[in-house]
Amino acid sequence: MTHTNQSGVDQDKRRWAIISLASIPLIMTLGNSMLIPILPLMEKELGITALQSSYIITAYSIVAIILIPIAGFLSDRYGRKVIIVPALIITGIGGLVAGVASWKMDDPFMVILLGRILQGVGSSGAAPIVLPLVGDMFQRDEDASSTMGIIETSNTAGKVLSPILGSLLALVVWFLPFLSIPVFSLISVLLVIFLIKASDDQGEEEEPFTFKKYLQLIKDVFAEHARWLVAVFIIGAILMFILFGFLFYLSSVLEDQYGYTGVWKGLMLAVPLLALAVASYISGKKIKDDLKVMKWITFIGIILAGSAVVLIPLKASPVYLLAIFFVCGTGIGMSLPALDALITKSLEKDVRGIVTSIYSAMRFIGVAAGPPVIAFLMTKEIAWIAGLLAVFALGAGWLAYRNIKP
């Protein structure tokens, strides 16, 4: 693998490779998050409940949880790009299945879920493999950490664009967001094929990377790093639970209680999500290769998010809720690049693919659990939602303070 960055040509090639990598989490996020603001509309069009509509998010995530570790093994065995490209194609097929079913069928709900499952299969082999590929591409930890910040910023930028784009597409026809997914996936496939060169990908090993070796590496990594790794995994899951749970709640409340729909609601959701994107970018720039800074940025971000969610019940106002989400998103945005960098900085390259795949699976657990749990709690008092999110944030903060020891 070539690490030469001396010439402007090499720097330009690497810059375009980073853009290509950043497109993957951006497009994966768009394919999932842009559905959240239009779930209330889907409930009306499909005649389903809020809990059933949450399954459209959960089905995607559960499959990804199961398959991400397998995709991590395959990427270590055969190379990152060999897995990413077919995964993006499967993602596009899943969106096409869900979109055509919505268009042509009278009762498409189950087929939509099937399409979302296919998207989850594709997602498991795309976005999670980006992190170890970044680790493969850079020798300097500072460069890798900075790129992680760009990747997380791309991810969060997708969350900012999602409510606006989803609402705009749904104005044309409610199922158009599904049909847009194949288009986005094709764009990312072309970027990866033409901008990620073979020298950027992981080279072949002299000995085949077997599943037995894969399991042994997992065992060895956890034997040495179990305490802080488990903490990072759980924190990642909790932050995604808070983010997607709060986003699901806010989307439903803005439409059902306050009457905000369409692009206007999308713009309202995008403002606090922008805080998340900006915080991710700044955090990625600041952490560099300092493990202590990573720990304390993670801890402060969690406390900020937890302090925000505990205030949810104090006032019933859309502006107030958006302000709370703004603060919460800032805290989560601070923490995510630091968690990514803790893994890439602390572990050897030969195990990063394994560990980041498990970490990504844990994050998807939070994504999968957030919407249905919040949908259930919305039938109760608002204090239940605030209390649960605050308790989870408190637990994440304790884990960061107690178990992450640079």
∠ CA 81-78-18, rounded to 5°: 25
- In sequence order, the 6+-apart residues with CB closer than 8 A to the CB of 400 are 231, 235, 295, 298, 299, 302
Q: How far is CA 333 from CA 22, 48, 57, 92, 254, in A?
A: 16, 33, 21, 28, 23
Which two structure tokens, joined as six digits, stand for 20?
Answer: 């290509």
Amino acid, single-letter form, for residue 98: A
- In sequence order, the 6+-apart residues with CB closer than 8 A to the CB of 23 are 154, 187, 188, 191, 192
Query: What is the DSSP annotation of 64-102?
Result: HHHHHHHHHHHHHHH-HHHHHHHHHHHHHHHHHHHHHHH
**Secondary structure letter of residue 205 according to DSSP:** P
Q: Which long-range contacts (C-beta less than 8 Å, at least 24 apart) are formed by 253-262?
A: 253/318, 253/321, 254/318, 254/321, 255/40, 256/40, 258/318, 260/318, 261/40, 261/41, 262/167, 262/170, 262/171
Q: How far is CA 103 from CA 108, 179, 261, 291, in A?
A: 8, 10, 22, 50
Amino acid, single-letter form, for residue 100: V
Phi and psi at residue 139, in whole multiples of 5°?
A: -85, -40
pLDDT of residue 196: 74
Q: pTM for this one?
A: 0.78
HSE (CB half, 13 Å, CA atoms) of 83?
A: 29
**Dist. CA 245–CA 77, nearest whole Å:** 35
Tell me if 130 sits within 8 A of 228, measured CB to CB. no
**Dist. CA 170–CA 168, nearest whole Å:** 5
Amino acid, single-letter form, for residue 186: L
Q: How many residues comprise the chain?
A: 406
HSE (CB half, 13 Å, CA atoms) of 76?
A: 28
Q: What is the pLDDT along the chain (406 residues), one digit of tens a residue?
A: 344 444 444 666 777 777 888 888 887 788 888 888 888 899 999 999 988 988 998 888 888 888 888 887 887 778 788 888 999 999 999 999 999 999 999 899 999 999 999 998 998 888 777 777 776 776 666 666 667 667 767 777 787 788 888 889 998 999 999 999 999 899 888 888 887 765 455 544 445 567 777 778 788 888 888 888 999 999 999 999 999 898 889 888 988 888 888 788 888 888 888 888 888 878 877 777 778 888 899 999 999 999 999 999 988 889 999 999 999 999 999 998 888 888 877 777 667 667 877 888 888 889 888 889 998 998 888 899 999 999 999 999 999 999 887 6
Which residue matches tokens 């069009």?
A: 45
- In sequence order, the 6+-apart residues with CB closer than 8 A to the CB of 398 are none
**Dist. CA 60–CA 65, nearest whole Å:** 9
Number of Cβ within 10 Å of residue 15's Cβ equals 11
Q: How many helices (H) and strands (E) does the chain have?
A: 14, 0
